């Protein structure tokens, strides 16, 4: 079904909505196009520049900057350099920027204090938390690298205060046993990967399967290699591994399970937090299991993390879980 043509923004608007999706005008017997329907202001600017004989038509606008940014990110998405989730976050931030300024506004005329306020607003909540706001501000600085102080990240004290206000996001072993005992086979293997291997929802949904009693599944988010010994309970549960899971239905199923078991829901990702909190062993061992990389000299020199140390760490978490 063809999209309905928009009305002129006002009666004296000199352009008309052409069926190809652009604002147009017939000039000297020839139809000329000045921009997409979604941005009549930018189309008018181009039209006026054309009629005045100006060659400065393709100046940098908000729309040209966000389009160029998203084109780069679309290419990175196509080559697997970023995930669909990351791209969606980039796109959403661009939508906020365009809604705030308008696509046709000249980039040279922007002030950024008001943009910071716009980026801080949520769809379902009045104000975003500082961690989410920080991500949006980072993206905005990628588009406007000369924005300066108005788009700087929230202060560390604000981030620390938000973390403190969130409280301890940790599960007790008894609660985890209750969740695993109650979960059906189609979800039990996902729970155990979270507890045993510090997996998040996306890790579970993309897990290719075990290699005997080990896994060597690199972290999808970063591509950093991981290795972890699998508990006997996890190996058994993985016999029921199934496809069709994603971060959304994993999260929803987990919420429902916590409600059924009357366990406080700290989020599925807090299984990872719980593993890291309980695990004993060197930081190198925990990093290898979690898929973390550190930019320090010891990490550059370290050639291998031995299996006996990895297994000892996993067995320690299992002993805590079963106690």
Whether residue 32 contacts residue 24, with contact meaning beta carbons closer than 8 Å, is answered with yes
The CA distance from 35 to 23, in Å, is 6
Instruction: Report pLDDT digits (tens) over 213-233.
Output: 999 999 988 889 999 999 999
Band the pLDDT of 3: cuts 50, 70, 90.
Answer: confident
Among 232, 160, 231, 241, residue whose Cα is nearest residue 198:
231
- The pTM for the full model equals 0.68
pLDDT at 54: 58
pLDDT at 56: 46
Whether residue 204 contacts residue 193, with contact meaning beta carbons closer than 8 Å, is answered with yes
3-state class of 26 per DSSP? strand
The CA distance from 231 to 8, in Å, is 66
pLDDT at 59: 63
Task: Establish how many alpha carbons lie within 13 A of residue 240's alpha carbon, considering only the half-sphere containing its beta carbon.
Answer: 15
Give the largest Cα separation in the chain, rounded.
86
What is the rounded average pLDDT of the residues 168-174?
Answer: 94
Burial letters for 152-172: b for 16+ Cβ neighbours within 10 Å, e otherwise? ebbeeeebeebeeeeeebebe
3-state class of 27 per DSSP? strand
Domain 173-322 class in CATH: mainly alpha
175: left (phi over 0), alpha (psi -120 to 50) or beta: alpha
Instruction: Report pLDDT digits (tens) over 43-100.
Output: 898 888 888 875 444 568 899 899 999 999 999 998 888 888 899 999 999 999 999 9
Average pLDDT of the chain is 92
Residue 166 has pLDDT above 90, yes or no: no
pLDDT at 2: 59
Percent of the chain with pLDDT over 70: 98
Whether residue 234 contacts residue 280, with contact meaning beta carbons closer than 8 Å, is answered with no
The CA distance from 321 to 307, in Å, is 21
Whether residue 178 contacts residue 104, with contact meaning beta carbons closer than 8 Å, is answered with no
Q: Judging by beta carbons within 10 Å of its beta carbon (0-12, 13-18, 19+), is residue 322 exposed, middle or buried?
A: exposed
pLDDT at 1: 53
pLDDT at 262: 97
Instruction: Report pLDDT digits (tens) over 250-293.
Output: 999 999 999 999 999 999 999 999 999 999 989 999 999 999 98
Burial letters for 111-127: b for 16+ Cβ neighbours within 10 Å, e otherwise? ebeebbeebbeeeeeee
Whether residue 103 contacts residue 45, with contact meaning beta carbons closer than 8 Å, is answered with no
Structural domain boundaries in the chain: 1-57, 62-166, 173-322
Q: Alpha carbon of 166 to those of 160, 162, 171, 172: distances in Å?
A: 10, 6, 14, 17
Instruction: Report pLDDT digits (tens) over 119-148.
Output: 999 887 888 999 999 999 999 999 999 898
Whether residue 198 contacts residue 289, with contact meaning beta carbons closer than 8 Å, is answered with yes
Whether residue 123 contacts residue 158, with contact meaning beta carbons closer than 8 Å, is answered with no
Q: What is the dihedral of CA 312, 318, 319, 322, to 10 degrees?
A: -170
pLDDT at 274: 98
Band the pLDDT of 27: cuts 50, 70, 90.
Answer: confident
Question: Which residues are paired to 27 by β-bridges?
Answer: 30
């Amino acid at each position: 079904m063809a999209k309905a043509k928009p009305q002129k923004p006002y009666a004296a608007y000199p352009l008309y909505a052409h069926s190809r999706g652009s604002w147009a005008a017939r000039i000297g017997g020839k139809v000329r196009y000045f921009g997409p329907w979604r941005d009549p202001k930018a189309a008018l600017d181009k039209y006026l520049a054309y009629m005045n004989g100006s060659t400065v038509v393709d100046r940098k606008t908000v729309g040209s900057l966000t389009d160029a940014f998203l084109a780069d990110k679309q290419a990175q998405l196509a080559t697997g350099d970023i995930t669909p989730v990351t791209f969606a976050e980039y796109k959403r931030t661009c939508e906020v920027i365009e809604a705030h300024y308008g696509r046709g506004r000249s980039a040279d005329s922007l002030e950024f204090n008001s943009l910071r306020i716009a980026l801080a607003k949520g769809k379902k909540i009045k104000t975003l938390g500082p961690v989410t706001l920080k991500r949006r501000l980072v993206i905005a600085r990628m588009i406007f690298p000369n924005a300066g102080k108005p788009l700087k990240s929230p202060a560390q004290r604000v981030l620390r205060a938000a973390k403190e206000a969130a409280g301890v996001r940790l599960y007790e072993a008894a609660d985890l046993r209750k969740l695993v005992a109650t979960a059906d086979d189609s979800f039990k293997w996902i729970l155990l990967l979270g507890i045993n291997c510090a997996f998040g929802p996306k890790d579970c949904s993309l897990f290719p399967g075990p290699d005997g009693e080990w896994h060597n599944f690199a972290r999808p988010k970063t591509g950093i290699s991981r290795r972890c010994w699998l508990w006997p309970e996890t190996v058994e549960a993985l016999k029921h591994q199934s496809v069709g899971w994603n971060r959304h239905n994993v999260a929803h199923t987990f919420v429902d399970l916590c409600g059924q078991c009357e366990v406080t829901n700290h989020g599925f990702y807090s299984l990872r937090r719980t593993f890291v909190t309980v695990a004993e062993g060197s930081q190198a061992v925990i990093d290898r299991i979690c898929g973390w990389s550190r930019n320090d000299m010891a990490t550059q020199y370290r050639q291998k993390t031995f299996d006996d140390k990895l297994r000892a760490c996993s067995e320690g978490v299992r002993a805590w879980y079963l106690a």
